[in-house]
Amino acid sequence: MQAIGATLTGNAVDPVVLVVDDEPDMQDLFRDIVAAGVRCRVHVAGTIAEARSVLAKHPVQLMVADVMLPDGNGLDLLEELNLTSPHAGAVFMTSKPAVDQTVFALRHGALDFLAKPFNARQIQERVSSALHRQAIIVRDERRLTRLKSAVRELNKARHTVSQKVDILCNDLINAYGEISGQFQEVRLTERFRKTINQARDLEQLLCHAMDWLLKEAGYSNIGIWLSGDDQVFELGAYMKYTVVGDKSVTNALHTALIQPTVREGLLHMSEAEFAHRLSPADRKLLPKQTVMSASCTYLGESLAVVALFRDSKSPFRDEDVSMLKNVASVFATALATMVHGPADDDAADNDAGKYVGDDAGDEDAGHDGAPDLLEEPEQTDQLDSPEQPKQKKRKKRKDEPDADWWKRGEPPPF
């Protein structure tokens, strides 16, 4: 039985049994017979005081105590046993058994209650059974302890995994938001590109661009300045919302915005920031205005500056500024294509759809300050003749300027 108890406790050392009895014959019985039959190490004590001294020095697996001791009731040792050896069991003996004592002992953790007298075989069986039962209890408690420890570690791991999953989900949400924003920017840019690609000349390009910007950013005053070869910017188009674009206003805007925008690439100014860039006289022309402007750069060269301004009660949003930044490069590419494309080719000087402005001194030049468009090619009755060209091209007037006047820094022809 001891071998089973040793295996269950996981300890190859014989279990320790404390015998508390004031009768020498009972002490000899446990030392000589019980210890040999059960294979355990026996410590004896004749009083409660001696038993407490043993419990303080040696951990025990089982205590066998008489209820009636010279210095008190053996049941009082249960509390001491639970404190010093919490995994130990207890068996009590008495020559005068009483129901209340038995119930008290069993309720407080006792494994057995023996009535004297008994023989050696009976006490061996009771001690062996008690040790075996106590070993099972200890084994189960250790398993429970390991299980609790494993559950705590599992909870820690689960908490860690949960935190990492939360972080990963947040990263995915942020990444999705960024990608969604990038797709939105691409869609926005492509819609702008599609709009301005419909322009047949510079005038239409400027008009289409301003119309599109108004739809996206809301009603605003818009000015577009075009750069000449010497990087001198001249007003190419202006659209009024609340401020008339007379020369004093456009000059004030030119002074406050052009070079800072070319230098910074993008400006977004509040009422106070914009007023700080204006002279006292210009502040009266442009009171309480909020501004955003962008440099339209192509191959490192600023081809135009686009500025939108309106009353500070309706400030531009960050989305508006981002939109202007994204379409500025597209607008610059369209300008460069229109200037350096077919218009630069000598063979294409008379192509249909080319922009031509009237001379600045022509009394009939333009309509409300807008450039003229070329007429559509005339159709002739001889188109079916193989000897005649299919299209009669319009001849260029002597006083008609080139479409890239703004690249050479010349005054607008309208």
Q: What is the DSSP string of 345-402?
A: -GGGTT-TT------TT-TT--BTTBPP-PPPPBP-TTTT-TTS-SSBPPPPPTTPPP
Tell me which of 14-23, 53-62, 63-72, 176-185 is least confident. Answer: 176-185
Taking 90 as the threshold, does the pLDDT of residue 397 lie above it?
no
Residue 411 pLDDT: 53
Length of the chain, in residues? 414
Evaluate whether 291 touches 308 at the Cβ level (below 8 Å): yes
- DSSP β-bridge partners for residue 42: 17
Distance CA 2, CA 62 (A): 13
Q: Model confidence at 326, in pLDDT bands (50, 70, 90)?
A: very high
Taking 60 as the threshold, does the pLDDT of residue 6 lie above it?
no
Nearest to 115 by CA among 97, 99, 135: 97
For residues 76 and 292, the model is more confident at: 292
Evaluate whether 87 touches 134 at the Cβ level (below 8 Å): yes
> What's the pLDDT tens digit per position in 258-289?
999 999 999 999 999 999 999 999 999 999 99
Joined tokens for residue 138: 């200890």
Percent share of the chain, pLDDT over 90: 39
For residues 205 and 386, the model is more confident at: 205
Q: Model confidence at 410, in pLDDT bands (50, 70, 90)?
A: low
Q: Model confidence at 401, in pLDDT bands (50, 70, 90)?
A: very low
- DSSP letter string, 98-123: -HHHHHHHHHTTEEEEEESP--HHHH
Taking 50 as the threshold, does the pLDDT of residue 136 lie above it?
yes
For residues 204 and 138, the model is more confident at: 204
10 Å CB burial of residue 387 (0-12, 13-18, 19+) is exposed
Q: Model confidence at 106, in pLDDT bands (50, 70, 90)?
A: confident
Percent share of the chain, pLDDT over 70: 79
| 3 residue type, one letter | A
> CA dist 375 to 25, 155, 379, Å?
137, 81, 12
> What's the pLDDT tens digit per position in 56-90?
888 888 999 998 899 988 888 888 888 888 888 88
List domains and CATH numbers for the chain.
2-143 (3.40.50.2300), 197-344 (3.30.450.40)
Q: Which residues of 105-128 are buried (b: 16+ CB within 10 A; e: fewer)?
A: beeeebbbbbeeeeeeeebbebbb
The most confident of 94-108, 187-201, 331-345, by mean pLDDT: 187-201
Q: Model confidence at 332, in pLDDT bands (50, 70, 90)?
A: very high
Evaluate whether 225 touches 305 at the Cβ level (below 8 Å): yes
With vertex at residue 196, the alpha carbon angle to CA 194 and CA 198, rounded to the nearest 5 degrees, is: 75
Residue 286 pLDDT: 94
Tell me which of 31-45, 255-269, 304-318, 362-376 is least confident. Answer: 362-376
Joined tokens for residue 49: 């005081």
Per 3-state DSSP, the chain is made up of helix, strand and coil in percentages (nearest 5) of 50, 20, 30
| Upstream peptide bond of 15 is cis (omega within 30 degrees of 0) | no
Taking 60 as the threshold, does the pLDDT of residue 12 lie above it?
no
Q: Model confidence at 1, in pLDDT bands (50, 70, 90)?
A: very low
